[in-house]
């Protein structure tokens, strides 16, 4: 029967590939929702352009309900460790902040993905670009965590040409060049840095091509390519910037130039894989780490907020997979299944043939295997996702279950404008965006990111102070309508689930993330070390001249299994006659204007047509003999669907009748009104109603009469959970349930 349903699943083993694939994992830094051609809302030729990236995405599968953390390091630790930020101490403020000298890092008890692939599946792995998951001693650096080589920078950002990074009042180069697992940590060659240094995209792109050309195609390859762009500062070779002279805002023009350089580099990596005969067995993944930086010329329109926030603009990410291993039918597809950054670890390990991820950390991996669902264009095995759980001062929990997003605590950074919707700047004049980009000079010090916000500061902030927000991100992806007050049962159920999940939260102190007295502040001993070579590098190794004493984390509690998605009650669904061809009926679905009474009344029309038993129409619908069904046919206008929970909306269609849904909050009864034309009188058995209330179902025959109560089939007494009455003055059949007992209309 068609209608609303709940689906639950667990990770399955990926369809067996002929051999472990090569995996190229691209991370585009601060890549906003509106910062890729296939999402961009501007007229063609007036903003950014990414034709090569768009072409790869168009030949692969776009992930359209893909979610990340609100800023860099926690998402990257999720990619590499396969654990949620709240399980490794990354859930509070920007603990592992982008400045040099932060003596923090993901505990080495967690095996990063390249180590898992190397030890358990024979892969050779290489890392390029941004690291940002710890480097206070050598054990935290890439070649000590499973990579065979590394060329990149340890902190969260740097200059794109000079590769300089300021910190602790000093300005040194941040570029390392290391080879060999557990090998020495070596500053990069000085020819790559300085005023005439190699531009970051060219540096990492060229090294990627060189690495692929030197790789043995018979050995599976994992490449973690964490591009520096499009993170601020906005810098690009001038010829890329000049391509976008039509963009009047200088920051956005330079931003577009950075994207153009990336758009040119990615096809060169694909070409190198083809040259080596590796492409046909490659899975090529492109993802962001967080939403676009509204203070760095990024854009997430039409989504709310951006980087540093848990609004959709900060956590709904760009991602796609391109691979010759995808079924031909999925080339160019868009997959709408629920996905999280944590799922890559599990999915890639499974594709590689890793039999088990047991023993890879203090807690088991949090991801699910997505490949099978993606290649089959099936529902996601993920039924919920944790965007954050933070029980520290103030508290902030963000949970998705299906269409619902609960935000319990202030999800922003406290800066004016970052909680709203930021359009692209105008191209009408050179100074059109003089005040457009939002100030971010002090955003990292915001008490709302450091966890230092007081109750007074939180007062009046969205979703804070014990007034959580609830959004239907399917119907309202821009998060303009808070539905918490209309759905208290959903809020309570999701808060209960958060409380259950929070039992496995690992605090910063328990995680060992920042094990020194400096905590999340920069340890400026690193500057003394950097002075020796001119490069930022590990400073806490045993035998060094600097005092750093680590502590052991406590044993965390495993996370409870996911609960089923919460579905608000009551729900009303419509379905076609069982014996009728499915193609003969319009699908009934939830309408995105459920909370917009005016739009609902103006744009949606439903017909209720009762087809008399024994009629030619009923005989045709039966199409196969047997008892001829009576049909209740609900037909929406093009592109519309049945709307739930609209208070006071009346859709009049005197020719056939109307369907009216009255208030359906948890404290009210559900009411469905069917107005039956007098020319089509109802008789017993013409159609039936199924009541869904938990596991109980009661089939009710509807009979014509005045103020008659519905009774169960074969019963002589009224069913006390559900009543129906008939008003002969206007031909209305009115059905009422007790609170929380939903209705589902079906046809027999």
- Catalytically active residues are 72, 132
| CA–centroid distance for 721 within its chain | 39
Torsion over CA of 379, 380, 383 and 385, rounded to 10 degrees? -150
Give 569's DSSP letter.
Answer: S
Burial group, residue 455, by CB count within 10 angstroms (0-12, 13-18, 19+) = exposed
Place of tokens 């929070």: 502
- State how far the alpha carbon of 82 is from the alpha carbons of 88, 203, 346, 656, in Å: 10, 28, 7, 56
Strands 66-67 and 339-340: parallel
Query: Among residues 596, 686, 708, 568, which one has the least CA distance to residue 633?
Result: 686
User: Residue 698 half-sphere exposure, CB side, CA atoms within 13 Å?
Assistant: 21
C-alpha 162: how far from chain center = 34
Tokens at residue 64, please? 């359209």
Nearest-angstrom CA–CA distance, 640 and 637 = 6
**CA dihedral defined by 391, 393, 394, 396, rounded to 10 degrees?**
-30
Termini Cα distance of the chain: 11
The CA angle 572-574-577, to the nearest 5 degrees, is 150
Q: Which two tokens stand for residue 412?
A: 């922003």
Joined together, the tokens standing for residue 242 give 């000049």
Instruction: Locate 79 and state its tokens.
Output: 């990619």
SS3 at position 521: coil
Q: Using an 8 Å Cβ cutoff, are 130 and 226 in contact?
A: yes
> Please, which residues have CB within 8 angstroms of residue 341's CB and are 6 or more apart in sequence?
66, 67, 68, 69, 75, 78, 79, 287, 289, 317
- As beta bridge partners, residue 696 has 693
Q: Helix or strand or coil: residue 666?
A: coil
Instruction: Give the residue from 105, 95, 84 showing the smallest Cα distance to 505.
Output: 84
CB neighbour list of residue 77: distance below 8 Å, 6 or more residues apart: 83, 85, 88, 90, 96, 106, 133
- Residue 542's alpha-carbon distances to 20, 137, 351, 523, 577, in angstroms, are 38, 8, 38, 16, 75
395: left (phi over 0), alpha (psi -120 to 50) or beta: left
Distance of CA 278 to the CA centre of its chain: 30
Specify whether the CB–CB gap between 481 and 513 falls below 8 A: no
Q: Based on the number of CB atoms within 10 Å of its own CB, is 74 exposed (0-12), middle (13-18) or buried (19 or more)?
A: buried
What number of H helices and E strands is found in the chain? Answer: 16, 26
Backbone phi and psi for residue 183, each to the nearest 5 degrees, phi listed first: -80, 180
**8-state DSSP, 617:** H
């Amino acid at each position: 029967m068609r209608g609303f349903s709940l689906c639950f699943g667990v990770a399955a083993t990926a369809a067996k590939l002929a051999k472990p694939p090569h995996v190229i994992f691209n991370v585009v830094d601060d890549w906003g929702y509106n910062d890729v051609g296939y999402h961009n809302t501007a007229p063609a030729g007036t903003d950014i352009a990414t034709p090569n990236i768009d072409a790869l995405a168009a030949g692969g599968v776009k992930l359209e309900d893909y979610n990340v953390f609100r800023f860099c390091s926690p998402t990257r630790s999720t990619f590499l460790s396969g654990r949620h930020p709240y399980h490794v101490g990354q859930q509070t403020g920007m603990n592992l902040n982008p400045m040099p000298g932060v003596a923090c890092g993901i505990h080495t008890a967690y095996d990063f993905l390249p180590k898992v692939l190397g030890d358990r599946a024979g892969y050779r792995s290489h890392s390029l670009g941004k690291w940002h998951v710890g480097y206070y001693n050598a054990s935290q650096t890439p070649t000590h965590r499973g990579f065979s080589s590394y060329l990149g920078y340890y902190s969260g950002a740097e200059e794109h040409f000079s590769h300089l990074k300021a910190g602790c009042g000093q300005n040194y180069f941040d570029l390392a060049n290391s080879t060999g697992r557990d090998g020495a940590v070596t500053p990069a060659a000085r020819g790559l840095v300085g005023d005439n240094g190699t531009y970051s995209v060219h540096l990492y792109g060229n090294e990627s091509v060189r690495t692929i050309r030197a790789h043995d195609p018979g050995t599976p390859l994992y490449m973690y390519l964490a591009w520096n762009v499009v993170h601020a500062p906005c810098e690009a070779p001038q010829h890329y910037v000049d391509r976008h002279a039509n963009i009047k805002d200088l920051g956005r023009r330079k931003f577009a130039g950075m994207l153009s350089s990336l758009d040119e580099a990615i096809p060169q990596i694909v070409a190198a894989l083809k040259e080596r005969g590796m492409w046909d067995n490659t899975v090529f993944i492109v993802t962001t780490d967080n939403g676009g930086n509204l203070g760095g010329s990024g854009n997430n329109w039409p989504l709310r907020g951006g980087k540093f926030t848990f609004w959709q603009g900060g956590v709904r990410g760009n991602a796609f997979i391109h691979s010759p291993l995808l079924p031909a039918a999925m080339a160019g597809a868009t997959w709408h299944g629920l996905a999280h950054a944590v799922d890559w670890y599990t999915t890639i390990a499974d594709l590689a043939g890793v039999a088990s991820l047991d023993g890879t950390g203090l807690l088991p991996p949090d991801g699910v295997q997505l490949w099978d669902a993606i290649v089959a264009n099936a529902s996601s095995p993920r039924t919920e996702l944790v965007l954050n759980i933070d029980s520290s001062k103030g508290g902030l929990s963000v949970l998705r279950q299906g269409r619902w997003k609960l935000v319990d605590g202030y999800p922003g950074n406290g800066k004016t404008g970052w909680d709203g919707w930021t359009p692209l700047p105008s191209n009408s004049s050179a100074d059109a965006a003089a005040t457009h980009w939002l100030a971010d000079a002090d955003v990292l010090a915001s008490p709302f990111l450091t966890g230092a916000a007081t109750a007074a500061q939180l007062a009046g902030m969205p979703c804070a102070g014990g007034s959580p927000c609830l959004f239907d991100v399917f119907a309202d992806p821009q998060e303009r309508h808070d539905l918490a007050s209309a759905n208290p049962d959903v809020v309570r159920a999701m808060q209960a689930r958060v409380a259950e999940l929070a039992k496995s939260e690992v605090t910063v102190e328990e995680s060992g993330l920042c094990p020194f007295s400096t905590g999340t502040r920069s340890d400026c001993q690193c500057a003394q070390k950097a002075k020796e070579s001119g490069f930022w590098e590990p400073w806490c190794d045993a035998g060094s001249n600097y005092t750093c004493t680590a502590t052991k984390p406590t044993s965390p509690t495993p996370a409870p299994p996911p609960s089923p998605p919460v579905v608000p009650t009551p729900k009303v669904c419509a379905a076609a006659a069982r014996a009728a061809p499915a193609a003969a009926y319009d699908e009934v679905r939830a309408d995105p204007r459920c909370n917009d009474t005016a739009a609902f009344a103006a744009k949606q029309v439903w017909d209720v047509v009762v087809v008399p038993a024994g009629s030619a129409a009923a005989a045709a619908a039966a199409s196969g003999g047997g008892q001829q069904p009576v049909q209740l046919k609900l037909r929406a206008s093009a592109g519309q669907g049945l709307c739930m929970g609209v208070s006071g909306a009346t859709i009049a269609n005197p020719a056939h009748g109307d369907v009216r849904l009255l208030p359906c909050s948890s404290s009210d009864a559900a009411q469905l009104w069917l107005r039956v034309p007098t020319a089509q009188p109802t008789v017993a058995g013409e159609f039936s109603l199924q009541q869904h209330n938990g596991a109980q179902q009661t089939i009710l025959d509807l009979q014509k009469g005045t103020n008659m109560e519905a009774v169960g089939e074969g019963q002589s007494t009224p069913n006390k959970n559900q009543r129906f009455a008939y008003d002969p003055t206007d031909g209305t059949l009115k059905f009422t349930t007790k609170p929380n007992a939903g209705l589902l209309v079906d046809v027999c």
